[in-house]
Copies of this chain bind each other. A is one copy, B any other.
Amino acid sequence: MKKLFFPLLIATFVLSAAAHYMHWGAEIEFILSAAAIVFVAGFLGKATESVAHYAGQRVGGLLNATFGNAAELIIAIFLIKEGLFDVVKASLTGAIIGNLLLVLGASALAGGLKFKEQKFNVHLAGQNASLMLLGIIALFVPAVFVKTENFPESETLTLSVVVAAFLILAYAGWLIYSMVTHKDLLEDHVDTQADHGEEAAWSKGRSILYLTLATVMVAFVSEWLVHTLHVFTARFGMSELFVGAFVVAIIGNAAEHSAAIMLALKNKMGAAVEIAVGSSLQIALFVAPVLVFVSLLFEQHMNLIFSTIELAAIGVSVLIATSISRDGSTTWYEGKLLLIVYAILGVAFYFV
């Protein structure tokens, strides 16, 4: 498998490029680019891990989350340009709940079947919970005010911009806090120890080169993939909402997904949690607000008001994920619970 990785990466990438530019038809394009994104995501995951080896565990987690979300950000900017705000919000919702339920759930289940109980830094878990709560509050408060008090669109946008600015402020503060002032408090002593002897996949220079390359590839494949969804979903009768929130999110999270499960299987649950929860946090506190500002550059402006069912989905995901991770340990059953909540949300969204 390891030997075949690079040939398959290149083959699926080239084939999906050909399918896209030569118009081989939406079905074949979808299958090829979906296959390609799995390998590209895997490549991105490996490159990130290798860079993390040199930069340290926490910076590695942040890099993984950031490069994992780069694709989401780029796709979303394309969609915003076309004014498809509902699809953007659906895919942000899908990315948040996908990370909190599917990625975290699958990691906890996979790791939990191998190890009885997997522990991680309880301080970090508590901080993550409070930050996720801020994310919900920042989405929930404007929605309640706008819907209850019937704000006009201009006020809704102003409120969204202000809240977005506060969120970016909160995220910047979090980076300073978790990387500088309180780095030691949030560190995962178990993982750090286990890491000692491990060798990097590639040299430092090659790691950075590969990371850049992988990010660019993800961006391309993501775009090809999104392009096919519109035509493709019409055939299966799935709603745009479902495709945006589940199909795109599952494929788009492939990077986080594979990295987190791999780490959980190595009993580095702390790093897996950081990827899953860290990625959700980044979307709620950084990607979403940045998109509000980006939309100001275009003709149509995007506000931060999510629909009731999106808010409900994000709300319950945060509640169950924080309830399960707050004690700084996970087991297989807790992973199963998260996956069941994901399945329930998936079915509910499917019927909309």
Interface residues in chain A, defined as those with a beta carbon under 8 Å from any beta carbon in chain B = 116-117, 123, 126-127, 129-131, 133-134, 137-138, 140-142, 144-145, 148-149, 151, 155, 158-159, 162-163, 166, 169-170, 173-174, 177, 181-182, 185, 307-309, 312-313, 316, 319-320, 322-324, 326-327, 331-334, 336-337, 340-341, 343-345, 347-349, 351-352
- Given A131-B337, A308-B144, verify A181-B117 contact (CB < 8 Å): no
| Chain A contact residues, majority secondary structure | helix
Q: Smallest CB–CB gap between A238 and chain B, Å? A: 14
Find out whether the CB atom of B182 lies under 8 angstroms from the CB atom of A319: no
* Residue of B whose beta carbon sits closest to that of A312: B144
Per assembly, the copies of the chain total 3
Whether B141 and A344, one on each chain, are in contact in the complex, defined by CB atoms closer than 8 angstroms, is yes
Given contacts A133-B323, A140-B312, 12 further A-B contacts (CB under 8 A): A126-B326, A134-B320, A137-B319, A137-B320, A138-B344, A141-B316, A155-B351, A158-B351, A166-B344, A173-B333, A173-B336, A322-B323
Question: Which of B149, B182, B334, B349 lies in contact with A333, CB distance below 8 A?
Answer: B182
A351: contacting residue among B159, B331, B340, B349, CB under 8 A: B159
Indicate which residue in B131, B169, B323 contacts A130 across the interface (CB closer than 8 Å): B323
Q: How far is the CB of A181 from chain B (nearest CB, A)?
A: 7
Query: Smallest Cβ distance from A266 to chain B, in angstroms?
Result: 21
- Does B137 contact A341, Cβ atoms closer than 8 Å? yes
Contact assessment for A327 and B126 in the assembled complex, using a CB-CB cutoff below 8 Å: yes
Asked if A170 contacts B336 (CB within 8 A), the reply is: yes
Give the docked Cα–Cα distance between A79 and B199 (Å). Answer: 66
Q: Is the CB of B137 within 8 A of A351?
A: no
Q: State whether A163 and B130 are in contact (beta carbons under 8 Å apart), knowing that A319-B137, A320-B137 are contacts in the complex.
A: no
- Inter-chain CA distance A130–B323, complex, in Å, is 6
Shortest Cβ distance from A142 into B: residue: B348
Between-chain CB contacts (< 8 Å), 16 pairs: A116-B182, A127-B334, A129-B323, A130-B337, A133-B320, A142-B344, A145-B312, A145-B348, A148-B307, A148-B309, A158-B351, A162-B344, A162-B347, A163-B347, A181-B332, A182-B331
